[in-house]
Each structure stands twice: as structure tokens, then as C-alpha cells.
Structure 1
Amino acid sequence: MAAKKQDAGDTKKRKRLNTEAPKASKLVASKKHKPDSVAKDNKNKKTAPLTGRERRLHAKELADARKKKRKRHFTLEQELARLWEKMRRHKIAKEDRAKLVTEALRKMKGKIPEIVGSHISSRVLQTCVKHCSQAERDAVFEELRPHFLTLAFSAYAVHLVKKMLDNASKKQLAGFISTLRGHVAPLLRHMVGSIVVEHAYELANAAQKQELLSELYSTELQLFKDLVSLKESRLSDVMSKLGLQKGSVLRHMTSVIQPILEKGIVDHSILHRVLMEYFSIADKSSVTDIIQQLSSPLIVRMIGTRDGAKIGILCVKYGNAKERKKIIKGLKGHIDKTAYHQYGCMVLVCILSVVDDTKLITKVIIRELQSILKELVLDKNGRRLLLQLLHPNSSRYFSPDDLASLNLSIPSLSLKDQSEASFLTETSKVSLGDKESKEDIEVAVDEVNKDKTSADDSDLAESGKKDPFVRRQELLIKSGLADSLLDICIESVGELIRSNFGKEVLYEVATGGSDGIMHPVLDDKINSLHNAVASLAALPKSEDSQEEHVLENFHSSRTIRKLILDCPNFASTLWEKALKGKSELWVHGHSCKVISAFLESPDPTVLKLVKKELQPLIDIGILKNPKPIEQANQ
């Protein structure tokens, strides 16, 4: 019994201990937990999330700290940037800007070559050079003079170099060009350096341009610049005067040109000039390789200069069908911009005159031109494309330089030059003797050369194999271009006939184009255009109108006069619809030329039509007759 009581007491004690233990553990736990929670709260307070502004400021501080370690003049650049923000404002007094510029130059003095490669410092210097005094500008130039070549390769410093050249005196520009001597070819192979050479070339005079070009021709000319004078501006003349070997010159020029073309640095006029000289002396295979390289979208970047457009024309003329196709496709999307360009439009004119693939031309070029047809008609350069199709190679619309560029040839590829060269070679071998036998030999040589040309050079067609008239018909009539052109002329007849440039296109359309290319397919629309012009002329003369009457306007009166002389059908329509019974009203001023044109018409039908009404005006001396009507009728 006692044992059982003891066991029961033990179990009660164990239960009491078990129940008390959790309380004790909770107490201990609560005591331990309190300082941990306090520490955690303190930690959370320290690592509280930063606001967006605080994060940006902190990041900026870190970035500035890294830049200070990396950039020696970081603090100076920061000061210059603050000055620049003030001096570049538009609304700032000149005196205040001059003070800021002087202060910036004072801070940079002695450190310009070191900081000019920085984006910020370069822009600050450009502004300072633009607005500083000449003395300050000269000081900057002198400080940078020993470092120009190094700066020419810097992506940011190059802009300052260009600005310095723009403001340089003649002496300073000459000194800069002399520092480029021996380094022109390496600079042209560099994307940034080529910009400096091109800028110097554009600013240079003729002698300085020749100096830059000559070292690209041969090693001898690179070493001895005084060998070349302005009298020998062409490479062929230089070679003949100095006795340079053609093979050596070609090798040197090829080593200069090829790396530039491989890198695609083809935008600069100095390279275009070099390529033109290269074409003049290079052999057939070398020229063919260059044409093959350029027959791509690269050509679009070249035709913005005079020589670049000539290269484009030569590539079109001497490229094979595949290369011509590449050139045309490369122009896709750039037709409108090219058509308005002074030189680029001549490349398009050449394509319309030479390439036989009229379907491709219609798809790529004509379709794009049709969307801007009215703008083309009124544009000085754009109208040339239309005029070339309406009246090819007319000296009335194309200057002698334009026609000369269309007739350019490459000696080594030209069929004409090759036949002449071989003819001279063969005839020079003929010894002095019987005249008849010599003539027989010359005729035989001509026949040999003709056979040789047709057999060996069939792929070097300077113009297409297709008949030019057929090509014009396909591009002008079948493509629908002429139809659209007539619609534009009829709708805007008043604007076009009074325009300095539009009147020429309207005249050609109204006469049906050269060789009557638009007849008889579009005769109905041409007659509608004649009636539209006659309707304008039939309008009453009004002094209140702000626009001159079509018979009194300088441009339109002369256009109508030409149409009367060259197009009897128009003359009859105009007389019947607008001038019959009103001729006495228009015998003064510019309109007098219109009335006189009826008397000068070579068509007897027109003279007979106006004889009855104009003879009394001649008799009383109001109207002068250049030739008696009776004599004209005879």
C-alpha cells in the first residue's frame, strides 16, 4: 500500500513538474525573444528602402566617384559643362557670352589636347571657337596644331577639327593640309579620319587639292610634292611629264582604293576624283573589278557629287545586265531624293537611256516617279528625267556638262577607243609606199576591228542593244507614264505654263514629243491639252486679277509662241477658240509675240487661216510682218 501511495505521489510530482516546465520555458523564451526583436527592429530601421530620388543620387555619387578615378580632368569637365549650359542659350547678350567663353578658355588653357577627346569638352570647345575672338581662336589653333593628326582619328575631337578648319585663315588651312602630307591614304581608310580629309579637300584651293590627290597616285608624288603643278591636273598628263610607269602607278592606286572600298567608305568627293583618274588609266580587268564592287547600294551614297555621279553613269554604261540590275534595285526607295538632286538625276537619266530591262525600270523607277509627277515637272532637276524620254539629249534642256557626262567613256572598255587604238597601231606599221595599197590595208584593219568588237566585247555594251525609240516607247507609253503626264498637264495647265521649268515639259507633251512618240496613241488627250491652253487664252483680259493673263505672262507667252510655230494643230485650235476676232486686242506687250508667231508659221494652212484678219493690222503699221503673206504662201 505504501508503495502504491509513493508511486501515486511520484506521478503527481511528475505531472506538476511537466505543467510547470512549459511555463518556465515560455518565460525563458519570452526573456530571450525580447532582445532579438529589438535587434531586428533596429536592423529593419537601418535597411529601410530608399526613395527613387535617393537611389538616383546615390547612383550618381558612385558614378562620379568612378569617373574621378578614371578621368584626370573630371572636375574641370563638370565646370565646363555648367558654363556651356549658360553660353549656348539663344537669349543671352553677346557680352555675357563673351565673358563665359573667355572664362571657359582660361580654365582649359594648356589642357585642351588632353580633354578635347571627351564628348562634353569637345562640344564646349566647339561653342567657344564659334563665339570667341580671333585672337582666342588663334591661341586654340596653335595649342592644337601638334596634335591635329591624332585628333583626326577621335570620334568626338573630329567635330572640333572641322570647326577649326571652317574658321581657319588661309595660312592656317595651308599649314593643316601640309600636316596631312603622307597620311592621306591612312586617314581615308578610317571612318572618322576620312571626314577630316574630305572637309579639308572641300575647303582647299586648286593647288592644295592637287597636293592631297597627288600622294594617292604614286609613291614618288607622295615623297616629292613639288613635282606636280596646276598645269598637269590630270593624272595622264602628270605621268607623261614625269615619265612615271603606268604599272607602278596602278599598283599604288589599287593598294589605296581597295581597302577603302572594302570598308564601304565611299561618300567623299576626294575618293570619287581618284576613281575617275583610276578609270582613265586602268586596264580592262581592274576597271571591271571596281565596277563590280560599286554595282550595289553603295552607288546611292556616291552620286551626290559631280564625280560620284559620273562614276555612277560609267557603272551603268559598262556594267553587265546583272550589275545594272543591282544598281537599279539599290536605288529603290531613293528615287525621289535622287531625281531632285543636281547630279544624282543624271544617273537616272543614263539608266533610262541605256538599260534594256524596261520592265525592271518601270517597276522600280517609273512607278515611284508617277507618285510625285507634278513635283517633278515643276522641279529644275526632276524634269530632266521626263524631258529625256520626251526629247532625248536635247541641248535645250541639258547643259554641255550634262551631255558630256552622259557621253563619258572608259578607255580600256570603250568600243570606240579600242577600235581607234588598234587602227592606229596597225596603220603605223604600214611602211611608206603605194597610196592605194596603204588604203587597202587600212580598210582591212577596220573590218578586223569590227569583227573583233562584235566577238570579244559583246558584254561591254555602252548603250543597250534595244532600239532607242522602242525603249522610249516602252518606258513612256506602255508604262502609262505619258498618260499620267498628260493628265497632270491638263489639270494644272495654268500653273505649268507660267512656270519657268514646267512650261518646257508642257511644250514637249503638247507637241507629242520628239519623233512623234506620243502619236497617234494619245492624240485625243493631246488635243484636250491644246483645248485647255486655248481656254486659258480665251479668258478676258482683266486688270483686277492678281495673276497675269496667259498671253501676257513672260513664260507662258513664249511657250504658246513656240507651240504655234511647231504645232499647226495647236495654232488652229488657239486661233479658232481664243484669238479670232480679238487679235487687235493682243498686239501689244508680250502677247504681240503670240500674234506674230502666226505670221511666222511654216505651215501654209495657219497663214491662210489668219491672213484675212491680220493683214489690215499690218497695213496700218500696228503689226510687223517678218515676211509678206503672199511670199509665205508661195
Structure 2
Amino acid sequence: MAAKDQQSSILSKKRKQISDTHIEGGRPSPKKSKFALSKPGQRPSKGAKKTFKLSKPDKSSHVLEKKPPLSTRERRLHAKELAEVRKKKRKRHYTLEQELASLWEKMRRRNISKEERSMLITEALQKMKGKITEIVSSHVSSRVLQTCVKYCSQSEKDAVYEELRPHLLTLACNTYAVHLLSKMLDNASKKQLEVFISSLHGHVASLLRHMVGSVVIEHAYQLGNASQKQRLLLELYSTELQLFKDLVSTKESRVMDLISKLGLQKASVIRHMTSLVQPILEKGIVDHSIIHRLLVEYFSIADKSSATEVIQQLSGPLLVRMIHTRDGVKVGILCVKYGSAKERKKIIKGLKDHIGKIAKDQYGAMVLICILSVVDDTKLITKIIVRELQTMLKELSLDKNGRRLLLQLLRPNCPRYFSPDDLASLNLFIPSLCTKGEKPDLEKQAKSIEVGESGESGAANVSEVTVADPIDNINDDVDEESLQSMDGGKKDPSVRRLQLLVDSGLAERLILTCIENAGELIRSNFGKEVIYEVAIGGDGGVLWLTLADRLNALHEAIASLAALPKTDESEEEHVLENFHSSRTIRKLIMDCSTFATNFWTIALEGKCEMWAQGHSCKVVCAFLESSDSKVRELAKPELQPLIDGGLLKVPDTKLAES
């Protein structure tokens, strides 16, 4: 019974504790809690468990002082200090670079004396001695070195070159060091240039595929002589030539000559060149003349599929960057001639907004001339090329290269205005893409190393030239007719010319330009040729068909200039006494009877005695030399007394005919 009473008393105590917990809001009362902390200074009861009191921190002993916020300037200076610390840890020669930058600011000034600059350069080179290869890759230090190399003495240049010589190939691929290399090559002696080009052996192909390294190769190619240029090119033709540089002499410059002499496998050479050309085109590294020469040689041996693929890759804006060199324009002409209609459209659209600049370029103008002579889509040419040309007709007429574009439409392929090289470039062809009638005899090439005569539709009728001449297929002995022949589209050349010149409105705008600027054009060395061709109506009199009234107005404008009185006060020389204008008017009188009649009536009738001496004498005598009997009879009554009186001297050729 005692055990039961004890158990019941324990249960009652637990119930009471539970009830107290509910009353206190779910937590046991502190007094009833088994783990209550004793009061401060009170000892725990005997037998009770030890308890611990968490004391609060004393605020007075740990006072946190708030710092005032930094200003914008202080934050900037603090950030700059941290950046300086990081740069010193990261860059080994940071302090040296700062010193060199300070010296550079002084030595590059324009108002500094040579002696002071020389002292600063010597000090800078002394600081850099032994460390040039390490700091040349820095943006700042490379510029300091460029200035030093530009102004230092030859002995100092040689010292810098010798220190860099073991590391030239590595530096050639560095973005900043490449500028120093270019500057050193510009100032290098012949021996140093030879050493540098020799060090490139075996690495030309890999460097050409590098965006930065290709700049160094191109610079060396431009500075080298013919032999050095050939050595750089030979590595790009074949693996054997890349490994053994002494296989050929300087005479074999064309890849076809090398294949023939060394007995190389043509298929192997094509594979090697294709593996080199494709990455270069994919990366867009097409600005260098050495690559242009490589593409010209590649077209001379490439099979049909390889040549077509390269033309497809180049068709578009990429071609605009190539047509500024002699070989680049050949590549451009071949792409225009052998590209499909879709590719030609891409090429023409890629030239948009660059027509004026290209037309004035010595080589680029030939690509535009080829487009005007080959492409059948005259609406597209009118929209993109002719429209832009119409806004600058005066400027083009007075320009040495720009005038050729207008003269090609007025008198196509005229040897008077185009050099043999220009006409030869228009007649280039790719052997693998030639049509059936113009394709050379490959068996004959393999046996006798000669190209057979091309067919009537071929680019040129050429015989007995070397295999390397498919691209440069015009030799010095080619007759004039073959020079004037050119590949064209399906459209008749005369119809294409009429649409581009007359139907587009270019001819009318050109005549108005000649009327407005007749005095300036006829006195100009280049403008006189344009105004002459316009005044006679172009080749075949194409302008007389629809623009006769405009041409008569031009004749009257020229005659009105000649009718002006001769005065010493005028700043400009009279058109009858000027060297260029007098000869142009003489040609017009002899070649165009309509002009001769108008000119006599307006300018010379009754005034021949005044103009019977000097350059104007040639103009007066032209009436007697004209092939038109009406012109001769018109002037004879007034000129015969001058001849009899000895005032007018007739040319000896005319006297002999009489």
C-alpha cells in the first residue's frame, strides 16, 4: 500500500507541473523550472545542479567609433593605390615601365633639341639593357622602344637588334611587339634584313595564318628584293620547298615552272596550297600583297572545284580589301569574270559606298572597268555604280585613274588610254574554268610547256607562252586585236554599253558637266581626253543617236571660249594658246566636221591672222588638214593669203601631200 501511495503522489506532482506549464503560456515557470539560474550572490542549494548565468557585455568598455564616409576623391585615390599595389605584384618591371614612360613623355616632344633627346634615349636604353625581350610586350614599353629606335644612333640600333634577334619569331606574334619589329625593319641594314628573312624560313605559312604575324611577313615582303620575296613565296607552294630552301634558283618564280623543273606532283602542290589558302580566307586575312600573289598562283593550277570555292569565299565585301595591289586586282578581275550571277551580285553590292575611292585607285579602277565590260545585269550596275559615279563626274574626269572608267564606256579598250598591262589584266583567265572553246591543251602543256591558241570566245589569242602565263597571258608580241578582245556575258557588248552609258542617264549628265566646266577640262592634262571623246560622240557616234542637241551645245561652249578676246590681264591662258587645249581643239577639228564648222563660224572666221602664230597656229592649220573637203573649202579663202604671205606655216606633212 505504501508503494501505491508513493506512486500516486509522484503522478499528482507531474500533473500539477503540466497544469502550471499551460498557465504560463506553454513554458514552465522559472521557479518551478528544474534548470532555473540562481540569483546573483546566492549560493545554490546543496544537492542542486550548478547553473550558469550569461552576463551582458559592458557597453562602456567596448565603444565602436564610426568613421566618417570617404569623399569621392578619397575613394578614387584609395582605389588607385590598391591598383598600384596589384600591378606591382603582377608586373615584374612595373617600376621600370613607369620610369620609361616619364622619359618617353620628354623625348617625344617636338620642341626638344637633338642633344637632349639623344641623352634621354641613351638613358632609357641603359635602363632597358638586358630586359628588352621581357618588357617589349608591354603596351607602354613597346612605344618607348619604337621612339628610341627611330631617333637613336646606328650602334644603339644594332645593340637593340642583337638583343632581340634570338626572339624575333616569338615577338612577331605579339600584339605590341609587332610594331617595334616593323620599325626595326624599316631602319635595318641589308645584312640585318637578310638575317631576319632567313630566320623566317619554315615559319612563313604559320605566321601568315596569324592575324599579327601576317603583318610582319607582309612588311618583310615589301622591303625585300626580288630574291628575298621569292624565298618567302616558295614556302607557300610546296612542303619540299618549305623544308629545302636551296632547291630552286631565282629564275623559277611561277609555281608551274617549279612543278615542271622539280618534277613535283601537281595534286600534292594543290593540296598543300589549299590547306594554306582556306584558313587564311576563313580568318579574313586578305589585305596583304603576298597573299594576293599566292592566290594568283593558286588560280593558275587549281582544279575546277577548288577555284570555284575560292571565288565563292571572296565574292562580297572581302574582295574590296584586295583590289589595291597589282596582284589583288587580278584576283578581283578573275572573280568577276568567272563568278556566277549570284556571286557577281554579291561583289557589286560589296562595292557599294566605295565606288568613288575605288575609281580613283590605280588598280581598283580596273575591277570596275571589268564589271562594266562583263556583267550583264545593267540595272544592278546602274543602281549601285553608275548612280554614284554621276555625283562626281567632274572629279573623275580630272583624275588620272578615275577618267579611265568614263573612257571605257566612251571608247572601250582603247590603247590610247589604257596601258598594255591594263589591257592584259582584262584578258586574264583561269585554265580550269575556261569554256570548251578556250581551254588550253593540257597534254601539250605537259609535253612542251606551252599554252595553245585560245578559241574565239577565249580571253586572248596567245601562243608560245610558258605554262605560268594562264594568269598573265599577254606577252609583248600580242597584236592589238587580241588586246582588245575580252570575255563577256551573254549580252551583246554594244547593247550593254548603250544601256550603261545612254539609257542610265550617265551620258547626258556627263555632257552637261563638260558644258559647265569646258574651260577647266579642256586645259587639263586628263580632262581633255574626256571632253574630246564626249565632243565627238564616243566610239561609233553612240551619243549622236539621242543627244545631238546636247553635243551641239558643247561644241558651242568650246567655241565660245576660243572666241574670247586675247588679253594679258586674264589669269588663265587662252584656250587657243594653252598647250593641252590647243591640241585638243585641233584633234576635234580634224575628227569632227560638225565641230569644225561651228568652231569656224563662232571663233575663227575673220580672226585667223591674229592666231597664225604660237600654239594657236596648229588650230588654224587643222582646217587645212581635215579629211572633210567641206571643212577645207570653208577655211581656204581666208587661210590661203596667209600662207602665200608667209604668216601661216603649213606642216611639212601637208606640203608633201600637196
TM, length-normalised to structure 1: 0.86
1:120 Cα offset (Å): 0.2
Determine if the alignment matches structure 1 residue 407 to structure 2 residue 436.
Answer: no
2:104 to 84, 89, 92: 84
User: How far apart, CA to CA, are the structure 1 residues paired with 2:333 and 2:265?
Assistant: 29
Deviations 1:550-586 (A, max 9, x none): 0001111111011011111001111110001111111
Question: Secondary structure of 1:232's match?
Answer: coil
1:632 Cα offset (Å): 8.2
Per the alignment, do residues 102 and 580 of structure 1 end up closer, same or farther by CA in structure 2, a change over 3 Å counting? same
Q: 2:84 is matched with which residue?
A: 64
Counterpart code for 1:623: L
Q: 2:532 is matched with which residue?
A: 507
User: How far apart, CA to CA, are the structure 2 residues paired with 1:232 and 1:417?
Assistant: 30
User: How far apart, CA to CA, are the structure 2 residues paired with 1:537 and 1:462?
Assistant: 43
Determine if the alignment matches structure 1 residue 101 to structure 2 residue 121.
Answer: yes
Q: How many residues align?
A: 566
Determine if the alignment matches structure 1 residue 611 to structure 2 residue 630.
Answer: no
Determine if the alignment matches structure 1 residue 319 to structure 2 residue 327.
Answer: no
Q: 1:49 is matched with which residue?
A: 70
Determine if the alignment matches structure 1 residue 535 to structure 2 residue 555.
Answer: no
Per the alignment, do residues 526 and 542 of structure 1 end up closer, same or farther by CA in structure 2, a change over 3 Å counting? same
1:243 Cα offset (Å): 1.3
Question: Secondary structure of 2:576's match?
Answer: coil
Determine if the alignment matches structure 1 residue 181 to structure 2 residue 206.
Answer: no
Per the alignment, do residues 617 and 394 of structure 1 end up closer, same or farther by CA in structure 2, a change over 3 Å counting? same
Counterpart code for 2:596: A
Determine if the alignment matches structure 1 residue 585 to structure 2 residue 610.
Answer: yes
Residues 292 and 323 in structure 1, CA contact (< 8 A), matched pair in contact too: yes
Per the alignment, do residues 99 and 631 of structure 1 end up closer, same or farther by CA in structure 2, a change over 3 Å counting? closer
Determine if the alignment matches structure 1 residue 372 to structure 2 residue 392.
Answer: yes
Residues 414 and 462 in structure 1, CA contact (< 8 A), matched pair in contact too: no
Q: 1:336 is matched with which residue?
A: 356
User: How far apart, CA to CA, are the structure 1 residues paired with 2:78 and 2:589?
Assistant: 83
Deviations 1:435-480 (A, max 9, x none): xxxxxxxxxxx99x9xxxxxxxxxxx94111111110111111111
User: How far apart, CA to CA, are the structure 1 residues paired with 2:444 and 2:634?
Assistant: 60
Q: 2:330 is matched with which residue?
A: 310
Q: What stretches of structure 1 of length at least 5 have no aligned partner?
A: 1-31, 429-445, 450-460
User: How far apart, CA to CA, are the structure 1 residues paired with 2:323 and 2:360?
Assistant: 12
Determine if the alignment matches structure 1 residue 160 to structure 2 residue 172.
Answer: no
Q: 2:522 is matched with which residue?
A: 497
1:75 to 86, 95, 100: 95
1:414 Cα offset (Å): 2.2
User: How far apart, CA to CA, are the structure 2 residues paired with 1:194 and 1:385?
Assistant: 33
Deviations 1:467-501 (A, max 9, x none): 11110111111111111101110001111111111
Per the alignment, do residues 424 and 212 of structure 1 end up closer, same or farther by CA in structure 2, a change over 3 Å counting? closer
User: How far apart, CA to CA, are the structure 2 residues paired with 1:474 and 1:297?
Assistant: 26
Determine if the alignment matches structure 1 residue 574 to structure 2 residue 599.
Answer: yes
Determine if the alignment matches structure 1 residue 246 to structure 2 residue 266.
Answer: yes
User: How far apart, CA to CA, are the structure 2 residues paired with 1:310 and 1:251?
Assistant: 22
Q: 1:544 is matched with which residue?
A: 569
Per the alignment, do residues 619 and 265 of structure 1 end up closer, same or farther by CA in structure 2, a change over 3 Å counting? same
Residues 611 and 629 in structure 1, CA contact (< 8 A), matched pair in contact too: no
User: How far apart, CA to CA, are the structure 2 residues paired with 1:173 and 1:212?
Assistant: 13
Question: Secondary structure of 1:477's match?
Answer: helix
Question: Secondary structure of 2:415's match?
Answer: coil
User: How far apart, CA to CA, are the structure 1 residues paired with 2:104 and 2:656?
Assistant: 82
1:401 Cα offset (Å): 0.7
User: How far apart, CA to CA, are the structure 2 residues paired with 1:491 and 1:349?
Assistant: 26
Deviations 1:401-420 (A, max 9, x none): 11110111111122377444
Deviations 1:195-217 (A, max 9, x none): 00000000000000000000100
Residues 599 and 627 in structure 1, CA contact (< 8 A), matched pair in contact too: no
Determine if the alignment matches structure 1 residue 268 to structure 2 residue 288.
Answer: yes
Q: 1:206 is matched with which residue?
A: 226
Q: 1:347 is matched with which residue?
A: 367
User: How far apart, CA to CA, are the structure 2 residues paired with 1:358 and 1:268?
Assistant: 32
Counterpart code for 2:123: E
Counterpart code for 1:563: L
User: How far apart, CA to CA, are the structure 2 residues paired with 1:65 and 1:628?
Assistant: 91
Residues 625 and 654 in structure 2, CA contact (< 8 A), matched pair in contact too: no
Counterpart code for 1:267: D
Counterpart code for 2:226: A
Q: What stretches of structure 2 of length at least 5 have no aligned partner?
A: 1-55, 449-454, 459-485
Residues 329 and 364 in structure 1, CA contact (< 8 A), matched pair in contact too: yes
Q: 1:555 is matched with which residue?
A: 580
For structure 1, which segment, 76-85 or 365-374, has the greater mean C-alpha deviation from structure 2 after superposition?
A: 365-374
Q: 1:195 is matched with which residue?
A: 215
Deviations 1:14-44 (A, max 9, x none): xxxxxxxxxxxxxxxxxx9x9889957x41x
Counterpart code for 2:69: A
Residues 318 and 462 in structure 1, CA contact (< 8 A), matched pair in contact too: no
Q: 1:436 is matched with which residue?
A: none
Deviations 1:302-338 (A, max 9, x none): 1011100110000001111011000000111111111
Counterpart code for 2:322: M
Q: 1:12 is matched with which residue?
A: none
1:627 Cα offset (Å): 8.0
Per the alignment, do residues 417 and 173 of structure 1 end up closer, same or farther by CA in structure 2, a change over 3 Å counting? farther
Matches within 5 A, 1:332-481: 332-415=352-435, 418-421=438-441, 462-481=487-506
User: How far apart, CA to CA, are the structure 2 residues paired with 1:64 and 1:619?
Assistant: 97
Determine if the alignment matches structure 1 residue 596 to structure 2 residue 621.
Answer: yes
Deviations 1:353-407 (A, max 9, x none): 0000000000111111111121111111111111100000011111111111011
Q: 1:486 is matched with which residue?
A: 511
User: How far apart, CA to CA, are the structure 1 residues paired with 2:187 and 2:170?
Assistant: 20
Residues 378 and 499 in structure 2, CA contact (< 8 A), matched pair in contact too: yes
Q: 2:647 is matched with which residue?
A: 622
Q: Give percent identity, aligned residues only.
A: 71
User: How far apart, CA to CA, are the structure 1 residues paired with 2:529 and 2:604?
Assistant: 23
Per the alignment, do residues 208 and 70 of structure 1 end up closer, same or farther by CA in structure 2, a change over 3 Å counting? same
Residues 135 and 141 in structure 2, CA contact (< 8 A), matched pair in contact too: yes
Counterpart code for 1:499: S
Counterpart code for 1:228: V
User: How far apart, CA to CA, are the structure 1 residues paired with 2:572 and 2:121?
Assistant: 53
Residues 431 and 439 in structure 2, CA contact (< 8 A), matched pair in contact too: no
Per the alignment, do residues 522 and 63 of structure 1 end up closer, same or farther by CA in structure 2, a change over 3 Å counting? same
Q: 1:139 is matched with which residue?
A: 159
Whose radius of gyration is greater, 1 or 2? Answer: 2
Deviations 1:164-213 (A, max 9, x none): 00000000000000111000011010100000000000000000000000
User: How far apart, CA to CA, are the structure 2 residues paired with 1:464 and 1:213?
Assistant: 34
Question: Secondary structure of 2:610's match?
Answer: helix
User: How far apart, CA to CA, are the structure 2 residues paired with 1:539 and 1:316?
Assistant: 49
Residues 599 and 626 in structure 1, CA contact (< 8 A), matched pair in contact too: no
Q: 1:235 is matched with which residue?
A: 255
More helix by share: 1
User: How far apart, CA to CA, are the structure 1 residues paired with 2:60 and 2:567?
Assistant: 104
